[in-house]
């Protein structure tokens, strides 16, 4: 994979993560999460500019490949649009317009739900890494952020070890939510 | 309905909350579908993306009308403006998905990196066939709780009747059906094991009870 392709990959992955994060900022009317979306949005702007510049340079060197390069640019613009839309969702929270019960309820009613769960002292998730637990493929819930000691860890990696008192924010199908909460509060003993 | 009545009356009867839920759901599935259409070079999937894009547009107009009708005070107007902003953003996501499927018009050899890009993404898309020896055959998506058990979302299903996109929970999977799923690599591998019949499906007692 060349440099442009890996930049495009980062752009795509970040845009998808931003949507998840933006909807969670709405659900909890949480401006810290919304600010992270804005931060990512600025990162996306820089990355988009880098991709465009690289494409222009490459296009001058290899004019015969111009059709392929235009596809990359079109894809980059569509992905940037998605990121902008996510930032616009987070903006609702930052402007103080997110405090309406209809917003929270409509996210809870959605096919993809977002749940918050506190790791209890007797939870089987405690002291295990996300890579080891594989929560996504075993209970359908993907951890998008962890709140630990008043700090957020966004898009935690496989090596992140969960601690007692951590608050996990995860998204997944509504029929997975109860089991996920049970795992965190210690009532479910097997993953 | 008169010709200049652009807004679907059914949707006008939906509540603001129902409209917003629907728009959020579409905004999530439509992007997956758009990438899958490029990956499998599928016009049919692209058409479904365009249909969802149109549906989103209708929902957005219905939402505007509902919001304007509901605003009585300055405070109402302030809160509803936030909801309208979310609705517009969801609509923008659907248009971005529409832009993505337009790339299908470019010859596949001019976009070889797209399949690679999707394969390398955090969220992967793959096609899996249900084997006759799999426990999944003969059960509904809801009873299996496919996403809850594997983290993989079924974005399309091909059976003897043709394709179904974003299939409902009450759709039954049968031997020989192909499903297009999105999720992590690990989840995809696990689902393949279930679908091939190599490992038995872990039925959830509560879920099978709730299904009927």
Say what the pLDDT of residue B99 is.
98
Which of A66-80, A139-153, B19-33, B108-122 bottoms out in mean pLDDT, i.e. has the lowest?
B108-122
Identify whether residues A21 and A89 lie together within a single domain: yes
A3 vs B: CB within 8 A: no
Angle at A18 between CA B126 and CA B100, to 5 degrees: 50
CATH code of A15's domain:
1.20.58.220
- Of A101, A124, A155, the last residue of a domain is A101
Q: Does A127 share its domain with A78?
A: no
What values do phi and psi take at A153, rounded to 5?
-110, 115
**Is the model's pLDDT at B29 over the cut of 90?**
yes
Range list of β-strands (E), chain B: 124-129, 153-159, 162-165, 178-183
Shortest CA distance from B32: residue in chain A: A16
Query: Nearest-CA neighbor of A144 among A37, A45, A8?
Result: A37
| Domain match, A89 and A39 both | yes
Nearest-Cα distance to chain A for B90, in Å, is 7
Same domain, A25 and A88: yes
A9 found inside a domain: yes
Tokens of B182: 């999105």
Residue B208 has pLDDT above 90, yes or no: no
Closest-CA distance, B111 to chain A, in angstroms, reads 6
pLDDT value at B181 more than 60? yes
Q: Is A82 helix (H, G, I), strand (E, B) or coil?
A: helix
> How far apart, in whole angstroms, are the C-alpha atoms of residue A130 and residue A139?
12
What average pLDDT does range A95-120 have in this prediction? 92
Across B25-32, average pLDDT: 94
Please, which residues have CB within 8 angstroms of residue B15's CB and are 6 or more apart in sequence?
Answer: B66
- For B168, list phi and psi in degrees, rounded to 5: -75, 165
How many domains does chain A divide into? 2
- Kind and range of the H or E element at A7? helix A3-27
Q: Is A149 on the interface with B (CB under 8 A)?
A: no
Q: Which string of b and e fits A87-99 if b means at least 16 CB within 10 Å?
A: bbbbbbbeeebbe
- Clarify whether residues A95 and A47 are in a common domain: yes
Mean pLDDT, chain A, rounded, equals 94
Indicate if the pLDDT at residue B141 is higher than 70.
yes
Give the residue from A114, A113, A117 showing the smallest Cα distance to A185. Answer: A117
Measured in residues, chain A has a length of 191
Residues present in chain B in total: 212
Query: What tens digit of pLDDT does each residue of A13-35 get?
Result: 999 999 999 999 999 999 999 99
ipTM of the complex: 0.91
**pLDDT tens readout for residues A123-160:** 999 999 999 999 999 999 999 999 999 999 999 999 99
pLDDT at site B112: 85
Pair A68, A21 in one domain: yes
What integer pLDDT is reported at residue B144 of this predicted model?
Answer: 95
Residue A136 shares a structural domain with residue A171: yes
Residue among B21, B31, B186 minimizing CB distance to A137: B186
The C-alpha atoms of residue A121 and residue A9 are separated, in whole angstroms, by 38
For residues B126 and B156, give the distance between their C-alpha atoms in angstroms, rounded to a whole number: 10
Cα nearest neighbour of B27 on chain A = A19
Classify residue B48 as left (phi > 0), alpha (psi -120 to 50) or beta: alpha
In a domain, A137, yes or no: yes
Q: Per mean pLDDT, which range of A42-46, A101-105, B63-67, B110-114 is the poorest?
A: B110-114
Per-residue CA distances from B205 to A83, A87, B185, B193, B211 (Å)? 40, 41, 27, 21, 10
For the cut 90, the answer to whether the pLDDT of residue B73 exceeds it is: yes
Of the residues A41, A70, A101, which one is the last residue of a structural domain?
A101
How large is the average pLDDT for residues B171-186? 95
Residue A43 lies in a domain: yes
| pLDDT above 90 for B203 | no
Interface of A with B in 86-115 (CB under 8 A): 86, 88-89, 91-92, 95, 97-100, 102-103, 105-107, 109-112
Q: Which CATH superfamily is domain B9-108 in?
A: Phosphate transport system protein phou homolog 2; domain 2 (1.20.58.220)
For residues B34 and B103, give the distance between their C-alpha atoms in angstroms, rounded to a whole number.
Answer: 10
CATH 3.30.420.40 is right for the domain spanning B122-211? no
Q: For residue range A59-69, what is the model confidence (pLDDT) as tens digits?
A: 999 999 999 99
pLDDT level of residue A174 (50, 70, 90 thresholds): confident
From the list A96, A171, A109, the residue with the least C-alpha distance to A136 is A171
Q: Which of B34, B182, B30 is nearest to B121 (CA)?
A: B182
Interface touch B21/A110, C-beta < 8 Å: yes
CATH classification at residue A174: 3.30.70.1450
Average pLDDT of the segment spanning B175-204: 93
The minimum CA-CA distance between A29 and chain B, rounded to whole Å, is 12
Q: How near does any CA of chain A get to the CA of B16, in Å?
A: 7
**A116, A152: one domain:** yes
Show residues of chain B in contact with A9, CB under 8 Å. 117, 120-121
A97 and A133 belong to one structural domain: no
Chain A with chain B: Cβ pairs closer than 8 A: 170
Full-prediction pTM beyond 0.95?
no
H/E segment holding residue A39 = helix A31-61
- Smallest CA–CA distance, residue B100 to chain A, in Å, is 6
Kindly state whether residues A92 and A51 are assigned to the same domain: yes
Q: Is the pLDDT of residue B207 over 60?
A: no
Give the C-alpha separation, A20 to A24, whole Å: 6
* Angle between helix B16-39 and helix A3-27 axes, rounded to 10 deg: 160
Q: CA B80 to CA B74: how far, in whole Å?
A: 10
The whole-chain average pLDDT of chain B stands at: 90
Mean local confidence (pLDDT), B59-64: 94
Residue B160 binned pLDDT confidence (cut-offs 50, 70, 90): very high
Query: Average pLDDT for residues B93-104, to the nearest whole number?
Result: 97
pLDDT at A11: 97
**A84 and A147 inside one domain:** no
SS3 A143: strand
Percent of chain B with pLDDT over 70: 92
pLDDT of B94 reads 98
* Per-residue pLDDT, B9: 62
Task: List the domain range (segments joined by +) for residue A50.
Answer: 3-101
Average pLDDT value for residue range A86-95:
98
Domain ranges of chain B: 9-108, 122-211
Instruction: Name chain B contacts of A98, Cβ cutoff 8 Å.
Output: 82
Same domain as A137, residue A85: no
What local confidence, expressed as pLDDT, does residue B30 receive? 96
C-beta of residue A81 within 8 angstroms of C-beta of residue A12: no
């Amino acid at each position: 994979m060349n440099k442009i392709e890996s930049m495009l990959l980062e752009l795509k992955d970040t845009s998808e993560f931003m949507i998840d994060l933006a909807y969670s900022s709405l659900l909890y009317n949480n401006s810290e999460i919304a600010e992270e979306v804005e931060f990512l949005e600025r990162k996306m702007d820089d990355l988009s500019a880098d991709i465009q510049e690289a494409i222009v340079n490459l296009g001058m060197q290899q004019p015969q490949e111009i059709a392929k390069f235009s596809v990359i640019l079109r894809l980059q613009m569509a992905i940037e649009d998605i990121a902008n839309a996510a930032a616009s969702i987070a903006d609702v929270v930052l402007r103080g317009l997110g405090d309406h019960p209809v917003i929270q309820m409509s996210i809870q009613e959605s096919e993809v739900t977002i749940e918050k769960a506190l790791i209890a002292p007797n939870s089987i998730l405690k002291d295990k890494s996300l890579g080891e637990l594989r929560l996504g493929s075993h209970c359908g819930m993907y951890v998008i952020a962890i709140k630990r000691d008043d700090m957020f860890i966004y898009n935690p990696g496989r090596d992140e070890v969960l601690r007692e008192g951590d608050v996990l924010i995860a998204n997944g199908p509504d029929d997975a939510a109860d089991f996920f909460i049970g795992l965190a509060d210690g009532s479910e003993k097997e993953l | 309905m008169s010709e200049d009545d652009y807004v679907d009356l059914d949707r006008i009867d939906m509540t603001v909350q129902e409209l917003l839920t629907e728009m959020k759901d579409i905004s999530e599935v439509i992007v997956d579908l758009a990438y899958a259409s490029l990956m499998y070079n599928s016009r049919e999937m692209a058409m479904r993306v365009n249909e969802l894009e149109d549906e989103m547009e209708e929902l957005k107009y219905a939402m505007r009308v509902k919001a304007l009708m509901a605003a009585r005070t300055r405070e109402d107007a302030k809160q509803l403006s936030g909801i309208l902003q979310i609705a517009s953003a969801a609509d923008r996501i659907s248009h971005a998905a529409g832009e993505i499927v337009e790339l299908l018009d470019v010859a596949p050899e001019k976009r070889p990196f797209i399949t690679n890009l999707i394969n390398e993404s955090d969220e992967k898309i793959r096609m899996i066939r249900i084997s006759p020896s799999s426990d999944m055959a003969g059960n509904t998506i809801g009873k299996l709780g496919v996403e809850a058990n594997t983290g993989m979302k079924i974005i399309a299903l091909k059976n003897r009747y043709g394709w179904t996109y974003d299939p409902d929970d009450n759709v039954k999977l049968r031997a020989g059906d192909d499903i297009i799923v999105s999720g992590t690599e690990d989840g995809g591998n696990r689902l393949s094991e279930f679908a091939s019949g190599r490992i038995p499906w872990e039925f959830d007692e509560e879920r099978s009870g709730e299904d009927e």
